Amino acid sequence: MIDRIKNILNKLIQNRILQHLLFWMASFYVLVQFFTLENEISKIDEVYTSLFHLSLLFGVYINTLVLIPFFLKKEKYLFYLLGFAILWYVVALFNQFTFETLSDLIVPDYLFISAYDIEDLLKFSFVYLAITTLLKLSKSWFTVLETQKELEIVKREQVESELIALKSNINPHFLFNNLNSLYALSLKNAKETPDYILKLSELMRYMIYETKDKFVLLEKEINYITNYLDLQKLRCQSDTSIHYSINGEINSQRIAPFLLIPFIENCFKHGGMNQSDSNFIDLNIQIESDHINMKLKNSIQANEQTNKVGGFGIENVKKRLNSLYGDQYKLNLSSDHGEFIVELKLNLKHDS
């Protein structure tokens, strides 16, 4: 019931006709109080106030329907100021004309004269034109704020959907490949089998249950990466060198989940693993207080094009970096002498 009342009130408040009626009712009430000379408001005061509003109505709607949309909103400020000045003076003249000529035609039973000189009428004219301009601009400002809020919601939903898409992109292929590797390891009765099963269990738990928040503990993300690399070693031939080093102190820093892993996964997808006798992946992560620096190098095939390296995961993570970190990161992708190089510097303080 309360929500229904709120919706009705919101619709009434946003009704433009009602807004205009309330504005002019308030204007009439204030001016009739100002113009009356007696203790009580008489009919002649009401008629005079109504006639006085003719020029104000003319000025306000020429300003709001012509000058503001055609000049001010289009950033033609000089034309707007010129039009405003002309309208300002015309409204004052129109007011004089109303009481000197029009009043005899509209209300012939009353005898009116213009009670104010041009200087005073210019004051009335300016106040009404200025107020309506400010009201129009404030309404546009609130509209911009609402639009920004809607864009933020869309942006957040987009980031969340991209994260879901990223997780679904990693999960199936990686899981099936590692189950096959663990199966082969178990057939050999290798003593390392339980450790690798535990690594896979921790990795999957992190992916499924611990990455629902916008930011996660850096320690968990790093642990996920090391588990991922250790499990990938099972799939690569002995002539593929996989090396990683993580230096620096991990405290309570937080990072958006799955920002680093797409670059690492890219090494295995496009790096030509197991296709030569010099395959390698070299990952170095340096944690410096509120920053993290990652440098990742991997071998690539001779015919691999730099602009073809990447795919869905890389493009996805670029969008997420822009969306979540703005200008608080630096990313450089390059290739040189059979190596593909990723350099990423990220401000971990930017986590709100």
Domain boundary among 149, 173, 208: 149
Q: List the one residue out of 50, 115, 57, 121 whose CA is nearest residue 92.
A: 121
Domain boundary among 116, 149, 182: 149
Token pair in block for residue 268:
């295995």
Question: What stretch of H or E contains 160?
Answer: helix 118-187
Whether 106 is in a domain gets the answer yes
Question: What is the CATH number for 288?
Answer: 3.30.565.10
Whether 334 is in a domain gets the answer yes
- Based on the domain organization, do 142 and 197 belong to the same domain? no
CA 312 to mean position of chain CA atoms:
23
Residues 115-128, mean pLDDT to the nearest whole number:
91
DSSP annotation of 69 reads: I
More confident residue, 20 or 149: 20
Domain boundary among 124, 149, 174: 149
Domains held by the chain: number: 2
- Based on the domain organization, do 242 and 340 belong to the same domain? yes
- Percent of the residues in the chain that have a pLDDT greater than 90, as a whole number: 30
Give the range of the structural domain holding residue 121, as residue numbers without chain letter: 2-149
Are 88 and 127 a contacting pair, CB within 8 Å? no
Whether 167 is in a domain gets the answer no
- Based on the domain organization, do 133 and 60 belong to the same domain? yes
Token pair in block for residue 31:
């001016």
How would you class 228 by CB atoms within 10 Å of its CB: exposed for 0-12, middle for 13-18, buried for 19 or more? Answer: buried
Which regions of the chain does DSSP assign to beta strands (E)? 216-217, 241-248, 254-255, 280-288, 291-299, 329-336, 339-347
- Cβ-proximal residues to 287 (8 Å cutoff; 6+ apart), any chain: 218, 246, 247, 248, 249, 250, 253, 293
For residue 98, name the pLDDT band (cuts at 50, 70, 90): very high
| Nearest-angstrom CA–CA distance, 310 and 312 | 7
What's the pLDDT score for residue 136?
Answer: 78
What's the pLDDT score for residue 265?
Answer: 83
Q: Report whether pLDDT(85) > 90.
A: yes
- Based on the domain organization, do 129 and 222 belong to the same domain? no
| Nearest-angstrom CA–CA distance, 59 and 131 | 12
Q: Report whether pLDDT(349) > 80.
A: no
Q: Report whether pLDDT(307) > 50.
A: no
What's the pLDDT score for residue 338?
Answer: 79
Whether 184 is in a domain gets the answer no
Token pair in block for residue 54:
């003719």
What does the CA dihedral 249, 255, 258, 264 come to, rounded to 10 degrees? -40
At 231-275, the pLDDT tens digits run: 888 777 566 788 999 999 888 899 988 888 888 888 877 655 555
Whether 161 is in a domain gets the answer no
What's the pLDDT score for residue 124?
Answer: 92
Residues 15-20, mean pLDDT to the nearest whole number:
82
- Based on the domain organization, do 239 and 126 belong to the same domain? no
Whether 315 is in a domain gets the answer yes
Whether 253 is in a domain gets the answer yes
What's the pLDDT score for residue 300?
Answer: 80
- Based on the domain organization, do 223 and 123 belong to the same domain? no
- Based on the domain organization, do 272 and 213 belong to the same domain? yes
- Based on the domain organization, do 31 and 110 belong to the same domain? yes
At 200-233, the pLDDT tens digits run: 888 888 887 787 788 899 999 999 999 888 888 8
- Cβ-proximal residues to 106 (8 Å cutoff; 6+ apart), any chain: 51
Residues 273-296, mean pLDDT to the nearest whole number:
83
Whether 178 is in a domain gets the answer no
Residues 62-86, mean pLDDT to the nearest whole number:
90
- Based on the domain organization, do 139 and 278 belong to the same domain? no
